[in-house]
Structures are given as C-alpha cells and as structure tokens.
Amino acid sequence: MSKKTPMMEQYLRLKAAHPDAILFFHLGDFYEAFFEDAEVLARELDVVLTARNGNPMAGVPIRRGEAYVNELLKRGYKVAICQQMEDPRKATGLVRREVVRVVTPGTTLDDGVLDAGRNNYLCAVYRRGARFGLAALDLSTGEFTATAASDREALTGELTRLSPSELLLPPELKEEFAELEQGVITVLPAEQFDPKSVSDAEFGVPEEALCAAGAVLAYVAETQKGIVAHLQRLQMYSLSERMEIDPFTLRNLELVKPLREGEERGTLLHVLDKTATGMGRRYLRRAILAPLLDRAEIEARLAAVETLTQDELVQQALTEALARVHDLERLTGKLGAGRMGPLDLLLLERSLDQLPRVTEALSGVAGGASGLLIRIIEDLSFPRLAELREGLSGMLVDQPPADARDGGLIRPGFSEQLDRLHAEMRALRAQIAALEQKERARTGIPSLKVGYNRVFGYYIEVTKPHLSKVPPEYHRRQTLTNAERFVTEELREYEQRIAVAQERAVALELELFTQALERLKEGIPLLQRAAHALGKLDFLLSLAVVARRNRYTRPRFTDRHEIVIREGRHPVVELVEEFVPNDLALPEGTDLAIITGPNMSGKSVYLRQTALICLMAQVGSFVPAREATLPILDRIFARVGASDMLVSGISTFMMEMLETAAILNRATARSLIILDEMGRGTSTYDGLSIAWAVAKELAGSVRAKTLFATHYQELTRLADELPNVTNLHVAVKEVGKEVVFLHRVEPGVAAGSYGVHVARLAGLPDRVTEQAERILAEFLAGSPLYPKAGAPDASAQSLPLFGPDEHPVVKRLRKIDPNNLTPLEALELLFQLRKEL
C-alpha cells in the first residue's frame, strides 16, 4: 500500500463527507479532481486526464471553475466546492481546506444554469400512511411552500406542475418515485425528514408536509453550509385551492410545453407572455399551471387587467419601466445566500431606482379601480425601500468588478477614509514622478527615467552610455539590451507605502461593500415583497397587453352549471391562420355534446379552444371570444388522440384507458372534460363499446360538462337516450365530389365522415378512392355497425366483391375501416396492397 501524503489524506477525508458529489479541490490556481471524479471530468467535459502519484487527476482553472460546475449540473451531477481557507504563502504546513458549498441542480443560484422564466424547485416528498407531504423551495427566490396530498395521483399532478430540478426522497420511496423523472433524485436518510426542523411553520400544518419541509431545510443547510438569509416562511397551501390539471391535460393542452419539441410558439404560455421581467414570466407560468377557484380572487385579477387595458400610454410607460428592472427577486436571493457581487448590487440598485417610475405610472390608472393594483403600489412604495436605495446611491462605480475582492468598486466621494487613501497614493505617485527630475539633476543623466512594471515594481532606468554616472546607492535590478534598471532606498520606501495604502484601500472597499450588504439584508423581506409585486404587475400587464392586441373580452362567471361562449376562438390557432369563430352552449341540463364531423374539419381545435377559454378565465385573463359566461371549474381533463403518446411498453390503447380511468375516478359535476376520438387504439367494436359506456357514465352519473368528439356516428344516438346529451357537428359544404371545410360548428349530426375525401386530399389515386367509396357504401348498407332503416340484412345479401374465392387483397380490403385510418396510414396501406397484387 502506498503511503498517503497529508494532502491526500485531507482530500480523502473531505471526499468521504461528500461521496455523491464531484469534489473540486482547490489547489493553487486550479480545482483538481481525483480518482473517479477525474474520470468523470475527462469523460463528460473533455478535461485532460493526468496523474499525481499514479492516481488519475484532472484540473480546471479556478477562474473558469463556475462554467465547469454548471456543465456538470446540467448533466445531473453535484459538485462540492472545496476551498483553501488560508493564504498558502502564510500557512504553516498543510493549507486548511473546507467544502464551502455543494452545488446541486435544485440549489444552484447560478444565472448560467437557471432559466429566468422558470422557478427552480427543490422538492421533497414524504409518505405517512396513505397520505403524502410535498415541500418545494426555490432557493433562488426564497419561495418555500408545502402541501399535503391524499393520494398518489394528486401528488404526481402537483409534482408535474412544479417540475422540480431535484427531488429529495426517503429511502423507502426511491424505487416508486424514481420513474417519475421529476428532476435528479437525491435520497436522504429517513431521520432528515424531521418535522421539528421547521420552526416557523403556521399552526396546524399536517405532519407529513412538515416532514417534507424538514428534509428540504436539512438539505439546504448541508449544501449551503448555513448561509441562507432569504428563505421565506413556510407557506402551506391546499391542493383544493387551485384547479386540478393532471399531467395528461397539462401536456395535451400545450399550456407551457409544446407536444412536439421546438414548437414553443404553440403553447398558451407563449401567446400570453408579453412580460418584461423574469419575475413576471415566472409568475405567468405559475398562474397558468394553477388556475384559481376563488371567484373573488379571479375577479380581482380580471379587474386589474381591465384597468390596465384601458390606457395604452400607461401600458407603455409601465412596460418601459419594468424593462429596466432586473431580476430583483433572484438578486435578493443572491444577497441572502451570500453570493452577491458588486455587479449584482449595482443591478439591484438600478432596479430599486425604477420603483418610483412604476408606481407613478400605475397611480395614474389605479385610482380606486383595482384593489390588486393598489396593493402593488403599496408594496412598491414602502419608505424603507427608498431608504435602502438611498443607502446605496453614489456608492458603486459604473462598471464594478464581479468580485468585491478585486477592489475598484467604490465611487470617489462615498467614503472620506477611502478618498484619503487614494489621495495618499496619488501623492506618493507624484513624489515618484518628481523623483525623476530630482535624480536627473543630482546625477547629471538627462535620459534617466522612472518606470514601473508588474514584476519588479518601480525602477530607475539608465541607458548604457550613462552607466558610469550611476551613484553607488543605486541597486541593480534588471539588465536590458540598451539600459540597466535600478532601485534606491527612497524609491523602495515610496513603493512600500503605496502598497500599504493600496492594500488598506482594497480592504476598506470590501468592508464598505460588506457593510452595505449587511444593511440591505435587513430589508430582505421588503425586497422580496417588492419583487413579488413587480412580478404580479408584470404578469397582469402582460395579460392586458395581450387582451388588447388579440381582442379578448372579459369573461363572466356564473353559479349556474352552464358554459355559454359566443364566437370563441383558439388563442394559438387564430394567430397563425384565418380563423372561424364558433359558439358553444351547454346550458344547465345539457352536459355532454357529441361532436361529429370529417377528419380535419376542426373538432380538436374546437375542443381545445373551449378548455383553453375556461382555463384562461380562471387564470384571470381575458378570453378569445366575443362573450363568455362560464362556471368555475374544479378540474379540466383533456384527452386527445393517443397516437402521439407512445410510451415504451404500454400500448396506445392501454395508455388511453389509463387516462380515461383517471377521468372517471376524479371528475365531478364541476369539471370540464374534452375527449377527442376516444377508443381509437382498438378494434372498432371494442372502441365503440367503450366510448359509448364512458360517454354514458359521464353524462349519466358524473354529469361533468363534456365535449366528446368522435368518428363513431353511432354515439350520436346517445342523445335519444339521455336528456342531457346533445349533438353537434362541424359543417362542410359539398361541391361536386369536393368537400369544403367550413370549420363551423352546428347543432345536429354530421352527414358522413368523409374519410375517403381526406384520402383524396392526401393524393391517393382516383382508382383507389373510388373503390373505397364503393366499399364504404357497402359497409354502410350492410354492416351491423351501421344499420340503416330498411337496409337489407348483410348476411342475406350477396356481395359479388366479397365472394367465396376472394383475392387476398380483397380480403384485406374487407377488414379495413376507412374511418379508422389516418391519411398516412391509408397511403401506406395502399403501397402494401399494390405490392401484394
């Protein structure tokens, strides 16, 4: 066994305390990683692998350390930063080193990793019996919340909404929750889920929520090594305070994330986002994912939006002022976590400078109109905020360094003492300059020069021809080709005095900076409150700007169980093409609408626009409709064609059934359900039977408001059976053999499904589409699925096409349900059939 050096022993001890992190070991100008850590750095980031005493080692320069840390974070690693705690030049023996911080995806404060438009949540889940506790902390802003969930579905719904970067779990939940893929999983020992560590929680918080919150606090204490002055008081919320949106719905409605990667413009978030700050963008995102249920709260937002829509000049003034506000929320987070540099402080000061402009512009419109806006003005105009701002004014230079230890950040005139030190340095430099004249006269060397370089400091330079005149008290320092450089006692003394003054100035600057931060820290709660108010204002303003630009109207809420929308539009689709607005009336007593119509006629769009209008209204946004009277919905469920959700190992149909089960288990009479083409993933009979049963259950017992788009014409007969079922169809116009899509939704049942027409549109040859039409006609006449009054019994009819000696291609054709084919599938099938022929 090789003998370990003391430094290696130090390394191994520190590494043992952080086994699941890459340890960055400060060694001179580098962070070094050893053993497996070094191999990770080499593999992931192409850092050159070297060796020290035969052990693998890889180093990154300290100056670029942050960039490497960020890259590792993005790849799901954690990094423990170990620093030298004393100056190696002054240390006796082994330099003291400590891990000052562990950087993890859920606790990073680095702008290089964080997305300005999203909260970065560190979540913890705890289970107690059948109930779950969930805590979420955004360390970058200090927002700290917890809730309890009575079942796993509610919990996963909430986790999907929060979409954490890191999830803390007790050992027993690891297996079960790892597959959720909600951020990097960190397993903590069970005892860290300690409810007692949450000292300032309100009374009556469920224990399971406290346990989760306790784990979050323990983890933050461990990774941040204690420096967090900005955590807000734990706020308890109940899942029943917000509209429930399950993960399927969240995805299907494309609220914040497009179904297909790269199509961000297709999301509701994108349409509504005209925010000017990160605070506003995060607020908007949170709001879209958690629509309100309290009518007064919704009306308060709507009233504020209405006020803000009324004056375009004010809108502009506010947008401009907000655009100059930096991310006050995250700057305050850096302040609280001891990570604020001079540059950050300058941004914070500039943000505070904008507050009077914001409140002034706002006071112009808010006069009594909106309680919400008045509270925002209040939160932005605390006198103490102005004091904090004044405390900073005139302190920093225009371009301060990122790191306060570099000095050169305090503006002249701010501190007399500092100015004196600078004056002293100037005087000393002047004396050095005067020395040149003095020495020239004394030595009689006219070309004698005083100069400075970084290596040797101040020197006197004498060119070769004059070297004979150099006095004996000159000490040689450096020889050049044409000259020699010297120092004198006097020069050395000046230099020393400058160095002392310089060191004192830098120390004083650091002290002044630190003092300013300390004073500011006392204002953290106020800064957070102001930041929150700015975010909310930015959010409301964004809704107002969009409402005006896209001609939205204020929705009305009713206690009646009805949805009435006049000239509703799809907020995304209307921006990219000529749009046909549509009405929807589901009055009391009408709960389910079966919607038929050809493929591509606009059924999906109609369904989604209805869900989006209802959701937007409860977010507090105006809606894309001429008029909308809406109930307050407790849940929205959106299920649209399962085809694009192939999950490995689960069949499309199974997936669809799982999603449907979730609806039947959770929907209430106050829910909205949109179901698009349910039952597609299985055979016609199966599909129809299930669709029928589900529709009947929804209309018959659940009585949720439901839009059910289907290609099963048979379903329309449900309206004869149940009084609260109605039929709608998307109208088309037939011009000869062509079909024109009108995208107009009308009462009643569609005449046909026009699948063959779509096949024609997709370019199938006429031979085939004509053939298909003939087959379809036969089906319609003979299939038990499509019994027509007076149609002869299929078995009794002789069908020449399907005689006993049919060609295999004909046999296959026989099995096809053209209604059940997408144009692509039809095309593919056509190629296959031709090949077979």
- Which parts of this chain interact with ligand ADP (CB under 6 A)? 573, 577, 579-580, 582, 597, 599-605, 743
Give least dist CB 262 to ligand ADP, A: 18
For 313-335, b/e burial (b = at least 16 CB within 10 A) is ebbebbbebbeebbbbbbbbbbb
For tokens 């319609």, name the residue.
780
Give least dist CB 599 to ligand ADP, A: 4
Q: For 694, left (φ over 0), alpha (ψ -120 to 50), or beta?
A: alpha
CB 523 within 8 A of CB 248: no
Helix (H) or strand (E) holding 99: strand 97-103
Rounded to an integer, what distance in angstroms lies between the CA atom of residue 705 and that of residue 703? Answer: 6
Give least dist CB 609 to ligand ADP, A: 8
Task: Pick the closer one to ligand ADP by CB: 237 or 579.
Answer: 579
For the chain, report the end-to-end CA distance as a whole number of angstroms: 76
- Helix, strand, or coil here: 244? strand
CB 638 within 8 A of CB 248: yes
Task: Pick the closer one to ligand ADP by CB: 56 or 641.
Answer: 641
Task: Pick the closer one to ligand ADP by CB: 242 or 570.
Answer: 570
Rounded to an integer, what distance in angstroms lies between the CA atom of residue 630 and that of residue 563? Answer: 5
Give least dist CB 631 to ligand ADP, A: 23
Rounded to an integer, what distance in angstroms lies between the CA atom of residue 420 and that of residue 260? Answer: 63
Give least dist CB 830 to ligand ADP, A: 21
Give least dist CB 719 to ligand ADP, A: 19
Give least dist CB 578 to ligand ADP, A: 6
Give least dist CB 750 to ligand ADP, A: 10
CB 321 within 8 A of CB 358: yes
Give least dist CB 680 to ligand ADP, A: 12
Task: Pick the closer one to ligand ADP by CB: 162 or 268.
Answer: 268
Give least dist CB 569 to ligand ADP, A: 7
For tokens 């043992």, name the residue.
16
Give least dist CB 579 to ligand ADP, A: 4
Task: Pick the closer one to ligand ADP by CB: 333 or 624.
Answer: 624
| 616: Cα separation from own chain's centroid | 19
Task: Pick the closer one to ligand ADP by CB: 103 or 672.
Answer: 672
Question: For 118-184, where are the alpha helices, taking DSSP H only?
Answer: 152-162, 174-178
Rounded to an integer, what distance in angstroms lies between the CA atom of residue 724 and that of residue 747? Answer: 14
Give least dist CB 641 to ligand ADP, A: 8
User: Based on the number of CB atoms within 10 Å of its own CB, is 279 exposed (0-12), middle (13-18) or buried (19 or more)?
Assistant: buried
Rounded to an integer, what distance in angstroms lies between the CA atom of residue 376 and that of residue 353? Answer: 16
Task: Pick the closer one to ligand ADP by CB: 137 or 674.
Answer: 674
DSSP secondary structure string for all residues of 559-594: SSS-EEEEEE--TTHHHHS----EEEEE-TT--EEE
Vertex 262, ends 257 and 267: CA angle to 5°? 35
DSSP secondary structure string for all residues of 290-321: S-B--HHHHHHHHHHHHHHHS-HHHHHHHHHH
11, amino acid identity: Y
Give least dist CB 577 to ligand ADP, A: 6
Give least dist CB 571 to ligand ADP, A: 12
Give least dist CB 647 to ligand ADP, A: 22
Task: Pick the closer one to ligand ADP by CB: 106 or 755.
Answer: 755
Dmax (CA) of the chain: 132
Task: Pick the closer one to ligand ADP by CB: 250 or 580.
Answer: 580
Task: Pick the closer one to ligand ADP by CB: 217 or 750.
Answer: 750
Give least dist CB 142 to ligand ADP, A: 43
Task: Pick the closer one to ligand ADP by CB: 343 or 742.
Answer: 742
Neighbours of 766 (CB within 10 A): 9
User: Based on the number of CB atoms within 10 Å of its own CB, is 620 exposed (0-12), middle (13-18) or buried (19 or more)?
Assistant: buried
φ/ψ of 772, rounded to 5, equals: -60, -40
Task: Pick the closer one to ligand ADP by CB: 540 or 750.
Answer: 750
Rounded to an integer, what distance in angstroms lies between the CA atom of residue 653 and that of residue 264? Answer: 28
Task: Locate 338 and state its tokens.
Answer: 């001891």
Dihedral of CA atoms 462, 464, 469, 473 in degrees, nearest 10, equals 50
Cα–Cα distance list, 773 to 89, 599, 757, 758 (Å): 91, 16, 9, 12
Task: Pick the closer one to ligand ADP by CB: 19 or 262.
Answer: 262
DSSP character at residue 791:
P
Give least dist CB 824 to ligand ADP, A: 13
φ/ψ of 118, rounded to 5, equals: -135, 145
Rounded to an integer, what distance in angstroms lies between the CA atom of residue 336 and that of residue 342? Answer: 14
Residue nearest to ligand ADP (CB): 602
Task: Pick the closer one to ligand ADP by CB: 580 or 628.
Answer: 580
Task: Pick the closer one to ligand ADP by CB: 224 or 252.
Answer: 252
- Residue count (the chain): 837
Task: Pick the closer one to ligand ADP by CB: 58 or 642.
Answer: 642
Give least dist CB 582 to ligand ADP, A: 6
> To the nearest 5 percent, what fractions of the chain are helix, strand and coil?
50, 20, 30
Rounded to an integer, what distance in angstroms lies between the CA atom of residue 335 and that of residue 698? Answer: 53
Task: Pick the closer one to ligand ADP by CB: 175 or 577.
Answer: 577
Pairing of strands 705-709, 671-676: parallel
Rounded to an integer, what distance in angstroms lies between the CA atom of residue 421 and that of residue 417? Answer: 6
DSSP character at residue 47:
P
Neighbours of 64 (CB within 10 A): 11
Task: Pick the closer one to ligand ADP by CB: 605 or 632.
Answer: 605
